[in-house]
Amino acid sequence: MKKRTKHLLSGLAIAAGAAGTVGAILLKKSAGKERGPRVRSKEHDVWARPGMRVVFRAELMPGQDSSTRTFRVTELLPSGRVLLDGVAGEHNEKEFEAVRF
């Protein structure tokens, strides 16, 4: 192949790569505008729900069986804390054992 032909083909390859990159960037930007910013819904990102049973960690109530450390959630507060049936005060997620599925 002649030198001139090689230069022409390499120039076309570089131009095609640049056009592909520009096209990908434009597609990504236009796709982002259609969907809008991603916002997590707080409704779905909740660690407890009313009526759910939660168990206090053993370190907070030493010497008691898990059945005596189990309480029912009565209300979920906007701060992420919960009110429990039979226990005074507001409580947060760190006070309870992890939920086992």
Q: Which amino acid is at 50?
A: P
| pLDDT tens, position by position, 17-60 | 999 898 888 888 777 665 555 665 555 567 888 999 999 998 88
pTM comes to: 0.53
Confidence check: pLDDT of 63 > 80: yes
Asked if 77 and 89 touch (Cβ cutoff 8 Å), the reply is no
Q: Which of 19, 17, 39, 15 is nearest to 27 (CA)?
A: 19
What average pLDDT does the chain have? 84
pLDDT-derived band of residue 72, with 50, 70 and 90 as boundaries? Answer: very high
